[in-house]
Amino acid sequence: MSDNVVDVESGPPASAGRRPLLGRIVVYSVVGCQHCLKAKATLKERGLDYTEVSVDRYPPEVRNWLIERTGKTSVPQIFFNEKHVGGNQELQKLVADAEQFEKEIK
């Protein structure tokens, strides 16, 4: 298992400032995207591991699947487990509401 993938059952280690998470966060992005960089930095600042899928490095079917799943053509697109959070703007709004953010990451 990759270091940035969180085991659903055990979660990440409690050390190194990492927060326990009962699942995984996936960020679909493209290389050099400023909104993607901001979203990833926000998660990192909060000690949350994430898996990044750089859709520009995969066949078009991956981006097409993402568009079908989210209804969005922009990146980043962020998922907490199976729940689509949205893009960077939605993530920043969620983070600003500490109580709701805590509910979402558990």
Please say whether the beta carbons of 29 and 36 come within 8 A: yes
Structure-block tokens of residue 25 = 């966060």
Mean pLDDT confidence for 33-57: 96
99: amino acid identity, one letter: E
Higher pLDDT, 13 or 82: 82
CA distance 75 to 62: 13
Q: How confident is the model at residue 20 (pLDDT cuts 50, 70, 90)?
A: low
φ, ψ of residue 62 to 5 degrees: the values are -65, -50
Provide, for the chain, the percentages of residues in helix, strand and coil under a 3-state DSSP scheme, each rounded to the nearest 5.
40, 15, 45
Secondary-structure class of domain 25-105 per CATH: alpha beta
State if pTM tops 0.95: no
